[in-house]
Structure 1
């Protein structure tokens, strides 16, 4: 069996500003197999690469992404207070990210965030933009978003991010879900892994640090690790 691929969470976010080009470029230098990123939708329906719906943590501005136009969003800087005041980057548009990504072709894990829920036209446009990109999957905490992704693009992989409400014994009731993404702390257990196997769902686990014993002997259903520390996880894999 081939080893699980290592996805850098928001890029190499342990060492660079999350979801920035610096973080994505560094992730590749640290031998990540793929990149995980988050996309939200602006007021004028432009997808942007940012995790939080409220921008206070990242920019200091108490505002929702969907309440700002792209022009307003681009006027903000990202990072800790000192960094954003003097040299913080602007938030990337998804198109800017894809332009950079076209030179790398690495696999992508694109997490669809809550600002897409009431925005079906924007979701359609975003999915259609990604149809020709190889090695891509969409993940989300929101089942309805993933159901619509699968309707729009049956060949694109969909991954549901597990919550405590997920009934692992009824995964067969989610035919539009290909893969389960789950927090390793709560869900890397035989019960959940075997449930995925029985219902023909693959697994990726996040919050991986690289010191987990099972990295060197993963369950047969695990196809990926999502981590802030890609170089440590890759080093652990090479020990096998």
Structure 2
């Protein structure tokens, strides 16, 4: 039998991962102190329905919305501000929303909150809209790439980074004691079981050194939707998303290409 808890256990297989959240938080706080940004823009009534927006000098070429991971249970927008270095280097703005986490929210509610966050961020920045999400955030941006639900017409590209695209294996994990997924919801919120939004560019991206289940989840959506996948060499589950904030990275280039 497959040990699904082990299959989704990224931290235990990446040395030093226990200190990453503190390092991300410190880097993000330093960015906000030194570079500023428009913080805590409300996009809904919930306590966590807030987003931070970081804009380049002059008119932005477009908007990137980054949706964080944490297996739908952890973290918030304050850990990722420094990722703005990537999009801003290319003249793009970056929005980073928080969203209500489990067990307070079900996954369907989280998806609707992200939809509202995208719509609000798009009111502040003209031009094309691009989405990137990591891990649980990869699931949520892939959910935005599905055919159902309204989104700005300017949305033209989505990259799911190490995303979870078939939720059904989570039914057999300890994680589900917090998520409270049932079989019907797992099917209804799994992008790999749904149809892709017409005309939308989607890329599935994963670190080549990630856990086999994350690689499988990436390949699964790529095959279901007939979209490209990239296995980023040398990267694990955590280093791969940091490439979004690195000017000139392959991930950033793919997200912002014309």
TM-score by length of 2: 0.38
Greater percentage in strand: 1
TM-score by length of 1: 0.40
Structure number with larger C-alpha Rg: 1
